[in-house]
Amino acid sequence: MKKSNYILLFIFFLSFNLIQAQDKEKESKFNLIGYGGIGYGIVENDNEPNYNLNSNSGEILLNYNINQKFGIAAGIGMNELSGNGFNSVGNFYHERTLLKVPLLFTVGSKLSENFRVFANLGFYGQNIIKDEYRFLNNTQKDVYDGWNFGAQIGVGFVFEMFDNFSAGINYNGQSDFSKFESNNNVGINYKQKMKNLNSIGIILMIEI
C-alpha cells in the first residue's frame, strides 16, 4: 500500500512539473505594441527664430522578451507636425510628416496581478515624407528632406483587460541629435532639428 502511495505521489509531482513546463512554453516571447499620442515640440533653427509645433504621433513595435523584465523592440512610426512660425521670409503655417524607425531597449515590471509599468529607451532614424510652409502669398513644399537621428524614452502604465491584451496610458519624449538641411531651392537656407518633443496618449499591448 505504501509503495502505491509513493508511486501516486511521484506521478503527481511529475505531472505537476510537466504542466509547469508546458505553461512556461506557452508564455510568448513576443509582444505587439501600439502607441498613439498628442503633444508638442520645439523646432530649433541655426539662423532663424525657433518655433513650436503640435504633434500627432503613433508607433507600432514588435518587442522580443529576453526574459520576464527586459526586451528589445523595433518597428515603425509616423509623426504629423503642424503649427505657426516666422522667419526672414515671413510668417508661415508649417506642416511636416515624418516616418520614424525606432530601435529600443524595453523594461516591464508588474505592479500587481493585472497592472504593470512598461518603459523603453533607445534611438531612432526618421525621414521627412512631407514638408510644407504656407506663407501669406505662396506655399513652399519639400523645403527639407532626408534622414536624421535622435533618442527617445517612453513610460506606460497598462492594465490587463483580457488574456494576452493590455491597454493603458503612455508618455513619449524624444529629441533629435542630427539636423535636417534645407534643399536651397526655395529661398530658405539653414539647418534645423526637433527637440523636447513630448506626447501623451494610449498604449496597447498584445502577446503573440
The 3-state secondary structure of 98-144, one letter per residue: EEEEEEEEEEEEECCCCEEEEEEEEEEEEEEEEEEEEECCCEEECCE
This prediction's pTM: 0.82
The candidate with the shortest Cα–Cα distance to 77, out of 127, 117, 39, is 127
CATH class of 29-207: mainly beta
Cross-strand pairs, 192? 45, 180
Q: Are 122 and 104 in contact (CB under 8 A)?
A: yes
Give phi and psi for 15, each to the nearest 5: -65, -40
164-208 pLDDT, tens digit each: 899 999 999 999 999 998 876 555 668 899 999 999 999 999 998
How sure is the predictor about 22, in pLDDT bands with cuts at 50, 70 and 90? very low
Euclidean distance between CA atoms 208 and 205, whole angstroms:
10
CA distances from 205 to 42, 105, 162, 173 (A): 30, 16, 11, 19
Cell of 105: 531597449
137-149: b (≥16 Cβ within 10 Å) or e: eeebeebbeeebe
99-148 pLDDT, tens digit each: 999 999 999 998 888 899 999 999 999 999 999 999 988 888 888 888 99
33-45 pLDDT, tens digit each: 999 999 999 999 9
Cell of 35: 502607441
The pLDDT, as a whole number, for residue 182 is 85
The pLDDT, as a whole number, for residue 162 is 86
Pairing of β 51-65 and β 30-45: antiparallel
50-101 pLDDT, tens digit each: 999 999 999 999 999 999 899 999 999 999 999 999 888 889 999 999 999 9
How sure is the predictor about 27, in pLDDT bands with cuts at 50, 70 and 90? low
Q: Are 45 and 191 in contact (CB under 8 A)?
A: yes
Euclidean distance between CA atoms 57 and 55, whole angstroms:
6
Q: Residue 149: pLDDT above 80? A: yes
Ranges of each domain in the chain: 29-207
